[in-house]
Amino acid sequence: MSGLACAVKLHEAGVPVRIFEASDGVGGRVRTDIVDGYLIDRGFQVYLDAYPETGKLLDLETLDLRTFEPGAMIFNGKRLYRLMDVFRRPGSLFAGALAPIGSLFDKLRVARLRYKVLKRSDHDIWQSKAMTTEAYLKNEGFSAKMIDSFFRSFYGGIFLEGELQTTSRMFEFTFKLFSKGSATLPAKGMSEIPKQLAARLPDDSVSLNTSVIKADAKSVELADGTRIDGSATVVATELGQAAKLVADFKPANSKWRSVTNVYFAAEDSPLNEAIIALNGSGEGLVNNVCVLSDASRAYAPEGKSLVSVSVLGFNDSPNLDSKIKEELRAWFGAQVDHWKHLRTDRIRHALPEHPASSERSPLEDSIHRKGVWICGDHSASASIEGAVISGQKVAQKILEAHA
């Protein structure tokens, strides 16, 4: 996404570009495959329609975004309870107040936090004092029960870590986006996002299945020994790979969050609405469940449902799909016994860490080493928006340098 955003900006400014992609398609971690007629995103992902810079870059109408409900179903170890954004679903106020997910005061604190972050600019958020998200929530007065039953699972799915050690800046940034807009899916899968960007480039500018083994300020060397010269070089990969390509580049933090995503085909949806279900019990493997075909029918064949289950971390235990079904029987009953396992994605490099100790923010310049520009969500915020911001900043720097 970062490399595509960079290339589109350069191309539309009249600068010729070439992209060398080692895999068989564009998009990096934002990819969708077709398995038995189902659209399988590589890990559960959503697009936040309040992303400011990505929203300017994309044609959102063409993506035909399908919206999730503003809230969640939360399993507390016994049953599922509904907890909604009462500002957009005021009819849920009474039921939400009575749900045993935190206290009434916790729910009032959510409203207070919403008011607080909506008043703050992104600049102020990213310049604020950083602490862990857990510490931030405690400072805001949230009870341990609310943090454990809601925030650890909801933001565990966003940050891919339930300990809430991600910087509070990232928490405020995403909380603001959820308050302003919605989590969505392109109707035909997440890969429609990078495909749309690639379609804005000349047909011969993207070379797939083409590995680069070395990059310097004026050229790249391909795996077959070919040298490609240019006036500037951009490396839009994860940091570990960038360190292999660029001489003497040693990134300060190249750690990753991992996730394991398991997809099932079902005759019927266990939720029957476009909403995320969270594990608020503090026990078990499952972090969240979502029926993607409830959001967009294109994700599953007619009359079928596609169930996505996320497990935090890289889980390679045997018979994981069976263990998940056994666990979810307490959530949804015996219907899970008839689910068919479609695919398990164990994604070791799912999201770059953005710890509270990190000094970087999207306000800083993108990385420049030995004349090579390095961009990606690792140098901004760990999100599609961060990738786009980083890529476009690099493009702007190149345009300024060659003006």
DSSP secondary structure, 137-157, as one string: HHHTT--HHHIIIIIHHHHHH
SS3 101: coil
Q: Which tokens sit at 198?
A: 């690639």
Query: How many Cβ atoms sit within 10 Å of the Cβ of residue 219?
Result: 12
Q: How far apart are CA 361 and CA 126, in angstroms?
A: 6
Both tokens of 100, joined, read 């045993």
What's the pLDDT at 324? 98
Domain chopping of the chain, boundaries? 2-31+191-255+354-401
How far is Cα 258 from Cα 256, in angstroms, rounded to an integer?
A: 6
For the chain, list residues with pLDDT below 70: 93-98, 358-366
pLDDT for the residue numbered 363: 44
Rounded distance between C-alpha atoms, residue 262 and residue 30, angstroms: 17
CB 173 within 8 A of CB 126: yes
Question: By C-alpha distance, which of 215, 231, 234 is closest to 223?
Answer: 215
The pTM is what? 0.93
Strands (E), 315-371: 340-352, 367-369
pLDDT at 361: 52
Q: Which two tokens stand for residue 146?
A: 């609310």
DSSP secondary structure string for all residues of 163-188: T--BBHHHHHHHHHHHHHS-EEEETT
Q: Select the CATH number that applies to the domain covering 2-31+191-255+354-401 from these four: 3.40.50.10420, 3.40.50.1970, 3.50.50.60, 3.90.550.40.
A: 3.50.50.60
- Tens digits of residue pLDDT in 241-255: 998 999 888 887 778
187-211 pLDDT tens trace: 999 999 999 999 999 989 999 999 9
